[in-house]
Structures are given as structure tokens and as C-alpha cells.
């Protein structure tokens, strides 16, 4: 998790990623990257690295970030 926090400024996504995350989480016109960065650095966030991706869970959501490029791949609500 420290690696993610240390590279927080490198976290980004594509235009398609922005639309996918907005749709999945219902964020409207909110800045998706800023929202994800805020969630990642929240002390309640739980992060796990599996293979090439980080999976961050917080507030009923899971954010997937590529561990090498720091690209936010997707984010979605966790189905309980």
C-alpha cells in the first residue's frame, strides 16, 4: 500500500476509463482520478496486490489499479 501512496501523483486513467468508472459508481461529472486518489489514501482503505494489479476496497467499492503503469483500470460497487 505504501507504494501506491508514494506514487499517488502517477495514478491516472484513460478517457474510456473515466466513463466506465463514472457509469459504474454513478459519479456524474466528478473528477474520477481525484475521487480515486482520495479513496486510495483514506486510512480505511484496504489494498491487496494480486499479480499485476492493486485492488483497493473502501466504502463498498473496489478500485483496480495496474501496479506498473498506475493506470486505474476500473472501479465498481462490491456486490455483497
pLDDT band with cut points at 50, 70 and 90 for residue 58: very high
Mean pLDDT of the chain: 95
What's the confidence (pLDDT) of residue 14?
97
Number of Cβ atoms within 10 Å of the Cβ of 11: 21
What's the confidence (pLDDT) of residue 38?
96
What's the confidence (pLDDT) of residue 2?
85
pLDDT band with cut points at 50, 70 and 90 for residue 79: confident
Q: Which of 58, 61, 55 is nearest to 24 (CA)?
A: 61
Amino acid at each position: 500500500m505504501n507504494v501506491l501512496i508514494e506514487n499517488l501523483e502517477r495514478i491516472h486513467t484513460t478517457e474510456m476509463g473515466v466513463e466506465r468508472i463514472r457509469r459504474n459508481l454513478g459519479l456524474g461529472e466528478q473528477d474520477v482520478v481525484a475521487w480515486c486518489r482520495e479513496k486510495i489514501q483514506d486510512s480505511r482503505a484496504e489494498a491487496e496486490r494480486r499479480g499485476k494489479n492493486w485492488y483497493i476496497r473502501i466504502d463498498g467499492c473496489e478500485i483496480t489499479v495496474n501496479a506498473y503503469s498506475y493506470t486505474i483500470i476500473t472501479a465498481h460497487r462490491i456486490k455483497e
